[in-house]
Amino acid sequence: MPVSDIPDIGLGTYENTDHDRCAWSVKTAINVGYRHVDTAQIYDNETAVGEGIAESDVDRDDLFVATKIDSRNLGYDEVLEHTEACMDRLDVDVVDLLYVHWPIRTYDPEATLAAFDHLYENGTIRHIGLSNFTPPLLEEALDVLESPLYAHQVECHPLLQQDELRGYAREEGHYLVAYSPVMKGRVTEVPELVDIAERHDATPGQVSLAWLLSKENVVVIPKASSEDHIRENLAALDLTLDDTDVELIDSIEREERLVDFDLAPWNT
């Protein structure tokens, strides 16, 4: 039986564009215990990700593979065509989770989501995901989708806590998948995380991941391409923060968005 639930931690592959390095890091991550791999059409590394999966010691059915359709390809026919191309590059017969990457450019709720419904209904994809939606866009998509929404992927970390979107995930019964969960390495600049890490003999990155994983319906996909970082992130599963630690991070009021550009939906 294929994996039915999304694993708590996945390997992010954004900017992992060196083919051999990407394939090696995916294979390594799977072999040390990861069962969730996240990529995207626009990352230009799906072929390498597929090679890493094929070269690993784990059966495909034991893995959860997610990819995303680029915002330039979100017309109805284009979604169907490009999903097939993504699967060819990944060398998989089914995608566990397919996302609308950004609700911009060619995104049209009716046409785009109808295509995702079709892919879900015919078994090409096991789950439907959205990524980088604002609360109003998320509400609209939930109204339009005929199939269940499984996951919403957004930037989320201690300096961008996404309370409202995490609330939607809890209320609507889907997962919030946190990208940039270790803030592109800048967790070492957050004193609260550094202090907690010292108390637990952990790293600030592990503290950030453990904090996110303490939240209901939250999954993390830190990117890593070295074995040390791959293992370090996975070890966050063994870190349990106490209530005081969680409350300290919850109380951080500083906010910083790391992924931002003029066309992003929260800027329009």
Just list the catalytic residues.
43
Lookup result for tokens 């996909």 = 221
Residue 173, class by beta-carbon neighbours within 10 Å (0-12 exposed, 13-18 middle, 19+ buried)? exposed
Q: Two tokens at 136?
A: 């109003």
